Structure 1
Amino acid sequence: MNLNLTDEQKMIQSTIRRFVENELIPLENDVLRNEREGKPGVSPEKLRELQLKAKEFGFWGINTPEEYGGADLGQVMMAIVTMEVSKTFVPFKFGGTADNILYYGNEEQKKKYLIPTINGDKKSCFAMTEPDAGSDTRNLKMTAVKDGNEWVLNGEKTFITGGNEADFTMVIAITDKELYQKTGRNGATCFIVDRDMGWKSEYIDTMGEWGPAALIFDNVRVPEENILGEINGGYNLGLEWIGFARWLVGARAVGAGERLLKMAIDYSKERHTFGKPISERQAIQWPIADSAVELEAAKWLVLNAAFRLDEGEDNRHVASIAKLYGSNMVNRVVDRVLQIHGGMGYTRELPIERWYREVRLWRIYDGTDEILRMVIARNLLKENVRVGQLN
C-alpha cells in the first residue's frame, strides 16, 4: 500500500495551494465585510474572473471527463483539491463542472443543459428535500401528473443549495403514487425544469452565510422530453447525487480544520500571559495536539473513500464514515480554536466565529449524523461490511 502522493499530485496540490494563498485568502476581509452588509461574499463577476484565472493554470473541470473539456483528475485528486480550497471561507468553486446526474441525460439534454453548465453559461440546482421529507426521503409529497405531452408539477422543495441563482433545477416528483407508497423508492421521477417554466424561489435565512432556497411549483408544466433518466427511476438518481457529495464534506472539514489549527498555533505563540506565550501552557498544547490527531485521521478516511471510487468500488460505507467523522471533527476543532483565541475568537474581527456557524451545518446536510450512524450500523449488522474488512 503506497500512501505517498505522486510527483504530479504534489505539483497540483502545490499549485492549488498557491492559488488559494494568492487569490482567495486576500479576499477574506472583503467577504466578511460584504456579508455583514447583507451582500454576496463574492460577486458573480469576480467569481467568474477567478474561475477563468484558474483555468489558465489548467484547473477547469477538475473531475469532468476529458471529452467535455475537463481535466478528469480522479477522485483522490478531487479530495486533495477540495481540502486546499476549503482552507478559506471565500465561496469559490473551480469552473467547468456539472452535477453528476446530468450525465445521464440524452444527447439533446446534454446539449441544452450539461454543456452550458460545464461552460458556465447556465447554473443548476438539485431539488429533493421537502418540508416533510429531509432525512426521510421516502416521504416525498411533490407530484407530477401527466397531461398530454406534458407533466404538471405541484409542491414545494426546501433548503435547496443554489436555488436562488439557478437557471434550471433537477427536481424529484412522484409520478406513480401507488407504486411509490408500495416500494418507497420506485414511482418518483427526475425532471429538468427551467426557471422560465414557472417555478419560483424564496430565500431562506439561516444562522450561517449559506443561503438556501425554497422552490415553489404551482401547476408548472414540463414537457415529456425533460424527464432525466427513466420515468419512475428518479429516486435512485437522487440517492446517487447525495452519495457523490457525501465524502467531499469530509474533505472540506479537513481543509477548514487545518487552516483553523494553523491560526491557533500562530496565535498561541503571539499571545502572552503571565510573562510567557500561551503556547507553553499545557492547557493550550493539548487541544492543539488533539486537533492534529483528529485531522490526520479524518484525512485518511476521506482519501480512502476517494481511492475506493477511483478503483471502481462501492464506497458508500466508507464515505458515510468519512462524512460523519470529518464533520464532527471540524466542529470540535473550531470550538477549541475559538477557545484558544478567547474573546477575540468570538468577535467578527476574526473569521473564526463565521467558520463556527458554517461548519455546524456540515453535520446536517448530505446526511445527518443520525442517518449516517444508522447506515453504518445497518451495514455492519446485516454483514454487508464486516468488522476489520479492508476491501
Structure 2
Amino acid sequence: MDFSLSTEERQIRDTVRSFVEKEIMPLEPGVLRNEREGRPGLDPETVRDLRAKARKSGFWGINTPEEYGGAALGPVMSAIIAMEVGRTFVPFTFGGSADNILYAGTEEQKRRYLVPTIEGERRSCFAITEPGAGSDARNIRTRAVRDGAEWIINGEKTFITGGNEADFVMVFAVAEPYGVTCFLADRDMGWRSEPIPTMGQWGPASLVFQDVRVPEENILGELGKGFELAMQWIGQGRYMIPARAIGAAERMLGMAIDYARIRESMGRKISEYQAIQWMIADSQVEIEAAKWLTLYAAWQVQQGMDARHASSIAKLNGALMANQVVDRVLQIHGGMGYTKELPIERWYRELRLLRIFEGTDEIQRRTIARNLIKGHARLGTIGE
C-alpha cells in the first residue's frame, strides 16, 4: 500500500500551489473590499486573465478526456488540485471542464453543448432541486408534455448553482408517461432566472419554466432515464466538496497557529495555553481524517468502483470538519476573527453551506446507515 505521490504528481500539486499563491491569493484583499461594497468578488476581465494564465500553465480541463483537449489527470489528482485551490476564498475554478453527464449526449449535442462548454464559450447549470423537492429528488413536480416534435416544460427549480449566469440548463422534468427525463434547454427557449440572496457569497438562482418549448432532439440520454443521470451527476463529484474544504481548513489552521504564536494574553503567548493547543491539535486530526476519506473516495472513482458510499462518508465528514475548524479558528482570533478585516468570518458563512447542498448531513447519514443495514456496504473492508 503506497500513499506517496509520484514525482509527476508532486510537480503538478506544487505547480498548482504556486499558481494559487502567486496569481490568486494576491487578489484576496480586493475581493473582500468588493464584497463589502456590494460588488462581485472578481470582475469578468480578471476572471478571463486568470483563466488565460491557467490555460498557459496547462491546467485547462484537469479531469476532461484528452480527446476533448483536457489533461485527464483523474479523480485523485483532481481532488488534490481542489485542495490546493481551496486554500483561497477567491471565487475561481480552472476552466476547460463540463458537467459529466453531458458526455452522455448525442454527437450533435456534444457539438452544441459539450465542446463549447469545455472551451469556455458556453455556461451550463444543473437543475433538479425544487421548492418541494430538495433532497427528495423523486418528488419532482416540473412537468414536460409532448406536443408534436417538442416538449412543453412547466415548473420551477430553486437553489440552482450558476443559474444566473448559465445560457443553457440541464433541467429534469417528469415526461409523462415515461418518468423523470433530462432536457437541454437554452435560455433563449424562454426560461428565466431570479437571484436568491444568501448569507454567503454563493449566488444561486430560481429558474422559472412557463410553457418552455424544447425540441425532441434536446433530450439528454433516454426518456424516463433522467433520475439515473441525476444520480450520476451528484455522485461523481461529491468527493470534490470536502476536497476544497480541506484546503480552506488547512489555510485557516495555519493562520490560527501564526496568530497564537504572536498574540499575548496575561503575559503569555496564547499558544502556550492548553485550551488553544487542544483546538489546534483537534483541528489537525480532523483535517487529516477528512483528507484520507476524501482521497479514498476519489481513488474508488478512479478504479471504476461504486464510490457512492465512500463519497457520502467523505462529504459528511468533510462538511462537519470544515465547520468545526473555522469555528475554532475564529475563536482563537477572538474579536479580530469576527471582523471583516480578516477572511475568517467569510469562510464561516461560506462553509456552513457544505452541510446543506449536494445532499444534507441528514441525507448522508441516511444513505450510510441504509447501505450498512441493507448490506450494500460492509464493515471491515479495505479497497473493496
Q: TM-score, normalised by structure 1?
A: 0.97
Deviation track 1:167-204 (CA, whole Å, cap 9, x = no partner) reads 10000000025x6xxxxxxx111000000000000000
User: Paired residue for 1:9?
Assistant: 9
**Inter-partner Cα distance in structure 2 for 1:110 and 1:38:** 38
Q: 1:386 offset after TM fit, Å?
A: 1.1
User: Paired residue for 2:124?
Assistant: 124
User: Paired residue for 1:22?
Assistant: 22
- Which amino acid in 2 is paired with 1:93? T
1:245/1:366 contact within 8 Å kept:
no
Q: Which runs of 5+ in 2 are unaligned?
A: none
Matched, 1:202 2:178: no
| Aligned-partner SS, 1:94 | coil
User: Paired residue for 2:139?
Assistant: 139
**Inter-partner Cα distance in structure 2 for 1:250 and 1:95:** 20
**Inter-partner Cα distance in structure 1 for 2:102 and 2:35:** 32
User: Paired residue for 1:288?
Assistant: 280
Matched, 1:190 2:186: no
Deviation track 1:232-251 (CA, whole Å, cap 9, x = no partner) reads 11111111111122111110
Deviates more, 1:343-352 or 1:248-257: 248-257
Q: 1:6 offset after TM fit, Å?
A: 0.8
Matched, 1:68 2:68: yes
**Inter-partner Cα distance in structure 1 for 2:119 and 2:265:** 54
| Aligned-partner SS, 2:316 | helix
Deviation track 1:268-325 (CA, whole Å, cap 9, x = no partner) reads 0111112221111111110000000000000000010011111111111000000000
Matched, 1:326 2:326: no
1:320/1:372 contact within 8 Å kept:
yes
**Inter-partner Cα distance in structure 2 for 1:34 and 1:147:** 48
- Which amino acid in 1 is paired with 2:149? N
For the aligned residue pairs, the C-alpha RMSD in angstroms reads 0.8
5 Å-filtered alignment, 1:72-221, equals 72-176=72-176, 187-221=179-213
**Residue of structure 1 aligned with 2:259, choices 250, 267, 290:** 267
- Which amino acid in 2 is paired with 1:168? F
5 Å-filtered alignment, 1:25-64, equals 25-64=25-64
**Inter-partner Cα distance in structure 1 for 2:266 and 2:194:** 53
| Aligned-partner SS, 1:331 | helix
2:236/2:301 contact within 8 Å kept:
no
Matched, 1:366 2:365: no
Write out the 4+ residue segments of structure 1 that deviate beyond 3 Å after TM superposition: none
**Inter-partner Cα distance in structure 2 for 1:298 and 1:315:** 16
| Aligned-partner SS, 1:362 | helix
- Which amino acid in 1 is paired with 2:247? G
Q: Which runs of 5+ in 1 are unaligned?
A: 180-186
**Inter-partner Cα distance in structure 2 for 1:388 and 1:45:** 52
**Inter-partner Cα distance in structure 1 for 2:281 and 2:199:** 30
**Inter-partner Cα distance in structure 2 for 1:68 and 1:39:** 35
User: Paired residue for 1:315?
Assistant: 307
Matched, 1:229 2:221: yes
**Inter-partner Cα distance in structure 2 for 1:236 and 1:45:** 38
| Aligned-partner SS, 2:238 | helix
**Inter-partner Cα distance in structure 1 for 2:158 and 2:335:** 36
Q: 1:266 offset after TM fit, Å?
A: 0.5
Matched, 1:240 2:232: yes
User: Paired residue for 1:184?
Assistant: none
**Inter-partner Cα distance in structure 2 for 1:176 and 1:280:** 67
- Which amino acid in 2 is paired with 1:20? V
| Aligned-partner SS, 2:295 | helix
User: Paired residue for 2:334?
Assistant: 342
Deviation track 1:201-249 (CA, whole Å, cap 9, x = no partner) reads 0000001110000000000001111100001111111111111221111
| Aligned-partner SS, 1:39 | coil
- Which amino acid in 2 is paired with 1:342? G
**Inter-partner Cα distance in structure 1 for 2:36 and 2:234:** 31
| Aligned-partner SS, 2:237 | helix
Aligned residues: 383
Deviation track 1:126-174 (CA, whole Å, cap 9, x = no partner) reads 0000000001111100000000110000000000000000010000000
- Which amino acid in 1 is paired with 2:49? E
Q: 1:30 offset after TM fit, Å?
A: 0.7
